[in-house]
Amino acid sequence: QFLERKELVTETGEVSLMGKELLDFMDSAIKRRIVKRKPATTEFEKFWESFPSTNGFTYNNRTFTTTRGIRVNKGGTIEEFDKILNEGAYTADQITNAMLKDVKIRQIESVKKGSNQLTFMQNCKTYLANRAFEPFIDITEVEEMQSSNDSTDI
């Protein structure tokens, strides 16, 4: 529990990035200072600004009214964001792009169904805590590969 609280291991028991740096430091014959990783403020701000502030939006000339705010609890959200980055499985860009893809799909589905699907989106801290972005990581990476392949075909 101590190692998890200090973010040296993840909840699943895997060694985090910070834990790997500590192990490398302990194995090294050269004595140097350990530099604690600073929170990814620039990357977080990009995520924070990209996350919808409310569930209201306009898409394809259809307007869906706002019923609640979903960009809330900035302090808790940055902690969750840094926790995910420290695990080392995802980059900040992957998380942000996956979230943007999720929002885009919800907007398209809202127009198709005639009801606001963004209403079912969790607030930003819960969204990260539940790893709701994970299914969209693969989708965005496949689309990026396809677009780069299309540009090389020209």
> Residue 139's pLDDT is what?
86
State how far the Cα of 126 lies from the Cα of 140, in Å rounded to an integer. 21
Residues 7-51: tens digit of each pLDDT:
788 888 888 877 887 777 777 776 666 555 555 688 999 999 999
Using an 8 Å Cβ cutoff, are 133 and 89 in contact? no
| CB count in 10 Å sphere of residue 130 | 11
Q: Tokens 């430091």, residue?
A: 25
> Residue 152's pLDDT is what?
57
> Residue 4's pLDDT is what?
79
| CB count in 10 Å sphere of residue 89 | 15
> Residue 18's pLDDT is what?
78
Which tokens hold the place of 138?
């693969």
Q: Tokens 């604690």, residue?
A: 36
More confident call, 139 vs 37: 139
Is the whole model's pTM more than 0.75, yes or no?
A: no
State how far the Cα of 97 lies from the Cα of 50, in Å rounded to an integer. 9
| pLDDT, the chain, mean | 86
> Residue 34's pLDDT is what?
59
> Residue 109's pLDDT is what?
96
More confident call, 147 vs 92: 92
Using an 8 Å Cβ cutoff, are 54 and 70 in contact? yes
Judged against a pLDDT cut of 90, whether residue 102 lies above it is answered with yes
More confident call, 25 vs 80: 80
> Residue 35's pLDDT is what?
57
Using an 8 Å Cβ cutoff, are 40 and 92 in contact? yes
pLDDT band at 104 (very low <50, low <70, confident <90, very high): very high
